[in-house]
Amino acid sequence: MNGPGLNSIILALVTFIPLAGALLLLFVPQRERDIRVFSLVISLLAFVLSLHLPVHLQRAQGGFQYEVNIPWIPTPNIHYHMGVDGISSWLVVLTTFLTPLCVLISWKSIRERVKEFFILLLILETALIGVFVSLDLFLFYFFWEATLIPMALLIGMYGHGRRVYAAVKFFLYTMIASMFMLAAILWLYAKTGSFDFVTIQNAVRGGGVEGFATAAPWLFLGFFVAFAVKVPLFPLHTWLPDAHVEAPTAGSVLLAGVLLKMGTYGMLRFNLGLFPEQSRANAGWISVLALIGIIYGALVALVQPNMKKLIAYSSISHLGFVVLGIFSFTQTGLDGATFVMLAHGVSTGALFMLAGILYERRHTYEISEFGGLATPMPRYAALFLFIVLSSIGLPLLNGFVGEFLVLSGTFRTSALYGVLGATGVIWSACYLLWMYQRVFFGKVTHEINEVLPDLDLRERITLWPTAAAALVMGVAPLLWLNAIDPAVQSTLAPLTQMASKVVGR
């Protein structure tokens, strides 16, 4: 616990301000303008407060900071235990950074049932932050489930075409997978008698848990399946394209920006944290799955007629990088993976916003509908190019730093995976630039495109922060890596000792 006062209650504040905002929204009168302004203020407040987290984080101290640990339910001894380290503090900032932008982007696009929309959005934000800050397995599972309902309702109520199918598919995929995680958590509780992540981690490392050796592979799989569905890893990814195409813009931004990171964060925290030797044993086939994800995602994106689906498959392939980085078990690999998580959140979030803006004008995502948009909408085209370059991985922008670190880490463990991963960078360049060329360059094919209005003030305000963040992350990654490095150090500690035992170096 570092210092009384703000530090002790900051986590509770950041997590539950959006929820309080959502409840207050119930009493705000039905006028749409007030609702939108009110939710914008709430999300900005949460963002400012969350900035406090990385700034005051003591670099030297490896463990969790701003810890709060209050017993909540005595009988199965569940504690309200929250804490943040380098990785999760920045993920919280990513969430609070994207939510105000979502509120701004859906200023005009949401017409009816506005109040319910913003209530669901704020509840979703609370649940997402909760996932990243909770250290009690039960609390983690509680927030993990709590993200399902608002997201499913957002897709189901405000989406386009086949929204019900997409919402049900999304809900069921995650629900059934998380049942396995629940079974694993139950088993751990039955054997160690507590839900607390830290105590379980010590018990596991101490070897005190009886029957752990036999059950460990199943427990690892239980956790891994739930996270793999969320990432999404190759075989379990089919829900993502449907969910993205049908979700409203704000929903896709949060879905791609943060929900996918819950899966990778879970792998980093729980799979690596609790089962180091299992993760090393399974690293082989998981990395293969990640590689397939990268290449398959990129190839399918290449042929997509629908712009939003293309971006969805691009995020599958980018997340493949993250998983590759995590299971390379090297310091740089894990640093890179965390950095790609943050960078991907910013750039893909921006890409979905851009697609949303286009949808507001033409109510379609089909690339064939657009052609030569550079002439009527020059500013929009420039921004779009900037974001595309950042997500491709142009040096001096955020994509490059992350992918470079991941690839260098992967090369160290196995050169073959490194090479195959590198092709992913080329593929992403192909489909994104080709899409950009078809949409923006050449002469205007459809006459109604001539008169499309360019970005208005509100849209510019939403997009500029993401562009600025992409640039700053590209130029000065150390701001982020200083916080991430010690956290990665502490997660990697058991693995490296174990590695030295195994490899003997």
Partner 1 sequence: MSASATPLAVEYVRILPELVLSIFGMAVMVLDPLIDERRNQRTLGNIALLGSLAAIIATLYQSQYPGPGFWNMVNVDAFSVFFHFLVTTVTAIVILTSYDYMEVQQIRAGEYYGLILFGAVGMCLMSSAVELVLIFIALEISSISTYILAGFRRRAAISSEASLKYFLLGSFATAFFLYGVALMFGATGSTSISVISQVLRSGQIPVLAYAGIALMFVGLGFKVAAAPFHIWTPDVYEGAPSPVVGFMSTAPKAAVFAVLLRIMFEANAPGRLWLIWVTAALSMTLGNIGALVQDNVKRLLAYSSIAHAGYLLVAFAALPSGGIPAAMFYTASYAAMNVGAFAVVSHFASAGERYVTLEDYSGLGRRSPLLAATLTIFLLSLIGIPITGGFFAKFYVFSAALQANLVGLVIIGVLNSAIGAYYYLRIIVMMYMREPREEAPVPAAPIGLRAALTLTVFATIYLGILPGGVLEYASRSAAELMRQ
Interaction site with partner 1 (CB under 8 A): 73-76, 141-142, 145-146, 148-149, 153, 156-157, 163-164, 167-168, 171-172, 175-176, 179-180, 182-183, 186-187, 189-190
CA atoms within 13 A on the CB side of 146: 21
CB atoms within 10 A of CB 498: 15
Nearer to partner 1, 107 or 187 (CB): 187
Cβ pair 102, 121 in contact under 8 A: yes
Closest CA to 90 of 65, 59, 45, 53: 53
HSE (side-chain half, CA atoms, 13 Å) at 426: 5
Of the pair 176, 213, the CB lying nearest partner 1 is at: 176
Q: Smallest gap, in angstroms, from Cβ of residue 410 to partner 1?
A: 35
Residue 84 β-bridge partners: 65
In the complex, least distance from residue 237 CB atom to partner 1, rounded to whole angstroms: 20
φ and ψ at residue 414, rounded to 5 degrees:
-145, 125
Tell the smallest beta-carbon distance from residue 185 to partner 1 (Å): 10
**Minimum Å distance from CB 259 to partner 1?**
17
Is 52 or 115 the residue whose CB approaches partner 1 more closely?
115
Distance CA 209, CA 188 (A): 9
Strand partners, 69: 81
C-beta of 186 vs 299, nearer to partner 1 = 186
Cβ atoms of 143 and 130 within 8 Å: the answer is yes
Nearest to 495 by CA among 338, 291, 335, 271: 271
d(CA 489, CA 330): 10
Shortest reach from residue 75's CB to partner 1, in Å: 4
Is 127 in contact with 18 (CB distance < 8 Å)? no
Residue closer to partner 1 by CB (options 153, 337) is 153
Shorter beta-carbon distance to partner 1: residue 215 or 429: 215
Q: Taking the C-alpha atoms of 441, 442, 443 and 448 in order, what is their torsion angle to the nearest 10 degrees?
A: -40
Closest distance to partner 1 from the beta carbon of 28 (Å):
16
Min dist. Cβ of residue 197 to partner 1 (A): 17
Smaller CB separation from partner 1, 107 or 142: 142
How many CA within 13 A on the CB side of residue 26?
A: 6
Smallest gap from Cβ 171 to partner 1, in A, equals: 6
Residue 291 CB, nearest approach to partner 1 (Å): 30
Q: What is d(CA 255, CA 240) in angstroms, rounded to the nearest whole number?
A: 9
Closest CA to 290 of 323, 259, 327, 313: 323
CA 296 → CA 156, 292, 349, 376, distances in Å? 28, 5, 21, 35
Minimum CB–partner distance for residue 144 and partner 1 (Å)? 9
Q: Which 8-state DSSP code applies to residue 255?
A: I
In terms of CB distance, is 242 or 335 closer to partner 1? 242
DSSP assigned state of 83? E
Q: Which is nearer to partner 1, 170 or 427 (CB)?
A: 170
Residue closer to partner 1, measured from CB, 157 or 367: 157
Question: Rounded distance, CA 168 to CA 265, Å?
Answer: 24
